[in-house]
Amino acid sequence: MHGSIHSLERDAFVESPLHRIDARIKLIFVFAVVLTATIFNNVYLMVLMEIYMLFVMLFSKIPISNLIKRIIMIIPFGGFIALFQPFIRGESVIYYLGLLPIYSEGLDFGISLFLKFLVSITSVVLLSSTTPMYEVINAGKKLGIPSIMSTLLGMMIRYLFVMVDVLESTIKAQKSRALNRKNLNYKQLLNTFGSLIGLVFLKSYEQGERTYLGMLSRGYSKDSNIKTLSQKIGFNDILFLSTTTLILSIGIISF
């Protein structure tokens, strides 16, 4: 678990042309892709956007198989909803799967919904795999996200890694006491799982109190102005954004 969650950050620090693109430009890129996927329903436009993003991934110097695996891991959450659309939406029956009718309108909507989700997820995976999390937050702050929101997002991301470490140490402590889940019945397993959740919750609460007191002792308040490193928009940044805008415009006009 520890290795998998930290692999995202390791990939984000790879040196490549795509990694050197300013985080603000990549954040605008994600907003543009998601907005386009939300507004337009054309399947060919979605396919064009997906092909373009897969092509962009080739410049990241990250194994394309790793990026595709991350996309596949998230797809079931939205793909599950799209899967049922052909059976529940529409009037024109085109096929019977056993006793279940498949509607033409539902099939079209399901494909469109799946592609919208796929395109949006691909853009987010592209951003998270090529940009450190703190740079994404700083970019959002520079683009107008309220300071309190960027601070909360930063704390949430830091806590994610901290709580994974806490969970791993707790599980390791249980194993060192010869706790084997395979030897437990269902009720004992639920009790053990409940105790584990409670313990992690208490540890997270204590960690939160310590963090809050530490921030106060360093003079932090809601009016604190946290300085971030400023980076100028370069030629490659403008070229990437212009190319994306051109591809989206061609897709919208053509399809």
**pLDDT tens, 110-140?**
888 888 999 999 998 888 888 888 788 888 8
Residue 225 lies in a domain: no
Residue 222 lies in a domain: no
Strand partners, 245: none
Judgement on whether residues 131 and 156 belong to the same structural domain of the protein: no
Alpha-carbon span 243 to 251, nearest angstrom: 12
Domain span holding position 178: 147-217
Contacts of 167 (CB under 8 A, 6+ apart): 1, 200
DSSP-H helix ranges across 177-226: 186-217
Per-chain mean pLDDT for the chain = 79
Q: What global pTM score does this model have? A: 0.74
What pLDDT does 16 receive? 83
pLDDT at 3 over 60: no
Judgement on whether residues 242 and 201 belong to the same structural domain of the protein: no
What pLDDT does 82 receive? 83
Alpha-carbon span 112 to 178, nearest angstrom: 51
Judgement on whether residues 59 and 167 belong to the same structural domain of the protein: no
Contacts of 1 (CB under 8 A, 6+ apart): 164, 167, 168
Judgement on whether residues 94 and 110 belong to the same structural domain of the protein: yes
What pLDDT does 11 receive? 73
Q: For residue 2, what pLDDT band results from cuts at 50, 70 and 90?
A: very low
Q: What is the mean pLDDT of residues 129-155?
A: 79
Choice between 133 and 36, residue whose per-residue pLDDT is larger: 36
Alpha-carbon span 43 to 96, nearest angstrom: 24
